[in-house]
Amino acid sequence: KQEVTQIPAALSVPEGENLVLNCSFTDSAIYNLQWFRQDPGKGLTSLLLIQSSQREQTSGRLNASLDKSSGRSTLYIAASQPGDSATYLCSTLTRTGANSKLTFGKGITLSVRP
Amino acid sequence: DAGVTQSPTHLIKTRGQQVTLRCSPKSGHDTVSWYQQALGQGPQFIFQYYEEEERQRGNFPDRFSGHQFPNYSSELNVNALLLGDSALYLCASSLQGPGIVGEKLFFGSGTQPSVL
């Protein structure tokens, strides 16, 4: 059974700081890994999706890496801004035949102080 | 191009009542998945609908049921509401079929029923 862990649960940093959010998973046989952003009481917005054959993906100030063998992914945020304050969740997609299962971590709540 | 839309946004029910939540997928998507997210937790998979059939189901009781219509929209029904059913219910849409890879999900903003 896949387990996705995100530690710490919360993080507070000053504006402008570069930061790394960590995600670990127990089953390395993933199809892909996806990072989402969630604002309070809202839905999830996909930030980056890394296929199992890829090592990293970049979008603007965001860079996500994937190391399947060690069961780890990181989301790097450069030059953080107060608008980056949100909860960041990672999820893994595993497949068994025609069925697929998306497993989420509990998320990391980021607060960027002006 | 409209994204995933859910209705209603919020609602209040009492214990034992029934609730119906609605979802319209992103244009061009044919698959709808429903998730329950309790406060401070990651979303938990309820079930997935494709071609108007329930294709997969998570560890949720039969009180949770759903439906998909020919236009790919979907409903989630919860019967005999319990206090613990108070959570954010998220709908996600995707495209499935031969040759489709990645299964990137697009989420709606969610519906937050409060059970009193």
pLDDT digits (tens, 9 = 90+) for B31-45: 999 999 999 999 999
Cross-strand pairs, A55: none
Q: Distance (Å, rounded) from C-alpha B13 to C-alpha B25?
A: 25
The answer to whether the Cβ–Cβ distance between A45 and B107 falls below 8 Å is: yes
- Taking the Cβ of residue A40 and every Cβ of chain B, the question of whether any pair is shorter than 8 Å is answered with no
The answer to whether the Cβ–Cβ distance between A44 and B43 falls below 8 Å is: yes
Locate A96 and state its tokens: 């068994």
Locate A107 and state its tokens: 């998320």
The answer to whether the Cβ–Cβ distance between B33 and A102 falls below 8 Å is: yes
Locate A44 and state its tokens: 């999830």
For range A44-67, the mean pLDDT: 95
**Which chain A positions have a beta carbon within 8 Å of B21's beta carbon?**
none
pLDDT digits (tens, 9 = 90+) for B49-97: 988 999 889 999 999 999 999 999 999 999 999 999 999 999 999 887 6
Q: How far is CA A7 from CA A21, A22, A90, B23, in A?
A: 8, 7, 11, 32
Q: Distance (Å, rounded) from C-alpha A37 to C-alpha A52?
A: 21
Quick one: how far is CA B105 from the chain centroid? 13
* Nearest residue on chain B to A3, alpha-carbon basis: B42
B69 CB contacts (<8 Å, ≥6 apart)? B52, B75
* CB neighbour class for B89 (10 Å; exposed up to 12, middle 13-18, buried from 19): buried
Q: Distance (Å, rounded) from C-alpha B105 to C-alpha A43?
A: 12
**B28 or B70: whose pLDDT is higher?**
B70
